[in-house]
Amino acid sequence: MRKIQTVLGPIAPEDLGMTLVHEHLAVGYPGWDCDPLSRPYEREKMVKLCLRALEPVKSYGVKSIIDATPLDLSRDVEVMKDVSSKMQIHIVCSTGRYTEEEGKWAYLKARSRSKIGDLYTELYEGFMKEITDGIGRSGIRPGVIKVATGHGSISPFEEAALRAAARAGRETGLPIITHTENGTMGPEQAALLVGEGVNPEKIMIGHMCGNPSIQYQMNVLNKGVNIAFDRFGIETFVPDRVRISMLVGLLGVGYTGRIMISHDFMCCVSGRGGRLPDEVTQKTARWSPTHIFQDIIPALKTAGVTDEQIQTMMVDNPRRLFSGE
């Protein structure tokens, strides 16, 4: 059976265990390094912050974390490697690209560049370079491909990234995980990737819990793909109670085998930092890498969800995302 690439090397799919399928160790939005007031970039401090946030998940039985940071959000595989070996937890990192609005596209948009190569091919070659040779000189290879689209539309750049990811995924067997902006464009992402010949079992459409329509969730699921309710604790747009209601409903009508859960937590964010408005702070007060275990699983159980269903979402489905079976 095909091995799963982690930042410390390949593992067998059955060794993945309980998995948080969408979290972030270190993130930096493009331009943070142009802010003269940004904090210095200190890996040792970042590792400490990651360990402080993530260590508690081990007591709940988490064995693996997928870091969904694409290559253009200041992904740092050295931090991941250090955290993985210190914590003795598997970390799977991503290649891939973020949205046109918030990702790092300026280089590919530059007129001189667009005269040299075509976008789709350059994106594809970039993903393949990381998958086959490793990221930079680290020797670390990504285990998933992450792609993203904006709110309510897929730009030509994002579409090229999705198609390039589909080709790289098809050729290498790596799963494709996505960012949707508040759950919009989920059916379109799924249709595009499946249309490009990607095995639907190896696709996880992300942030679907941002869309409060059950019918919409089913429109995505009915394309044969997996979906992720991966923003538990971020209640700025959708309260967890709505997420839980939708999840209980979908589990109740037979979709347990195709839903995964996570937090989209960010252990450290580069830049100058600062205080968020009180309203945001209040609506993310429970957001942490253990929130699912402390608050969400008990609520699901109260609603009649079984231990077996939780095991399916957190252990079996992540394993199947990689194995495609």
Contacting residues toward Zn ion, per CB under 5 A: 68, 264
Residue 298 CB contacts under 8 Å (≥ 6 apart), including other chains = none
* Helices 119-133, 156-172: crossing angle, 10 deg rounding: 40
Q: How far apart are CA 295 and CA 187, in angstroms?
A: 29
Residue of closest CB approach to Zn ion: 264
Nearer to Zn ion, 180 or 312 (CB): 180
Closest approach, Cβ 68 to Zn ion, in A, equals 5
For residues 98 and 127, which CB has a smaller minimum distance to Zn ion in the complex? 98
Q: Characterise 3 by phi-psi region: left (phi > 0), alpha (psi -120 to 50), beta (else).
A: beta
Neighbours of 106 (CB within 10 A): 10
Q: To the nearest whole angstrom, how small is the minimum distance from the Cβ of residue 177 to Zn ion?
A: 9
The residue (of 90 and 263) whose beta carbon lies closer to Zn ion is: 263
Q: Nearer to Zn ion by C-beta: 147 or 251?
A: 147
Quote the CA–CA distance of 178 and 260 in Å, as a whole number: 13
Query: Closest CB to Zn ion among 76 and 264?
Result: 264
Q: Diameter of the chain by CA atoms?
A: 59
Minimum Å gap between C-beta 175 and Zn ion is 15
- Smallest distance from Zn ion to CB 14, Å: 26
Q: Which is nearer to Zn ion, 68 or 297 (CB)?
A: 68
Nearer to Zn ion, 51 or 266 (CB): 266
| Residue with Cβ nearer Zn ion (108 or 147) | 147
The distance of closest approach from Cβ of residue 264 to Zn ion in the complex, given in angstroms and rounded to an integer, is: 4
Pairwise CA distance, residues 86 & 90, whole Å: 11
Q: How far is the CB of 308 from Zn ion (least distance, A)?
A: 28
Judged on CB neighbours under 10 Å (0-12, 13-18, 19+), 299 is: middle
Spatial separation of the C-alpha atoms in residues 321 and 144, rounded to whole Å: 10
